[in-house]
Amino acid sequence: MARITYVEFGGKEHVVDVTNGMTVMEGARDNGIPGIEADCGGACACSTCHVYVDAAWVEKLPRKDAMEEDMLDFAYEPDPVRSRLTCQIKVSDALDGLKVFMPEKQI
């Protein structure tokens, strides 16, 4: 299990424990955290689960694959380094302390 901090665009923080094997997107959805819409349900087909990963975590996460990179082109104001789709980040103990920031809006 990992404790993950989701930060809304306005600065409000939500700290939740997310079960290993779930995705960061599922952790937000299942805990009613606003700002991650996840319209496609985690199929990497919509980019509405876009976040900016805290800079301290960028190198600790698995690299983006080609499909995620392509979908990020459709996200709102993507950052080439910090933008990720939360449906593509699997939770494990190694993610304990992860902090992600929601964009102003999803597409």
Residues 42-78: tens digit of each pLDDT: 999 999 999 999 999 999 999 999 999 999 999 999 9
Strands 13-18 and 50-53, how do they pair?
unpaired
Q: Taking residues 77-81, what's their average pLDDT?
A: 97
- What is the pTM assigned to this prediction? 0.95
pLDDT on residue 69: 96
Residue burial 11-37, b: 16+ Cβ < 10 Å; e: rest: eeebeeebeeebbbbbbbbeeebebbb
Distance between CA atoms of 17 and 95, rounded to whole angstroms?
11
Distance between CA atoms of 69 and 32, rounded to whole angstroms?
26
Distance between CA atoms of 66 and 88, rounded to whole angstroms?
11
Residue 107 scores a pLDDT above 90: no
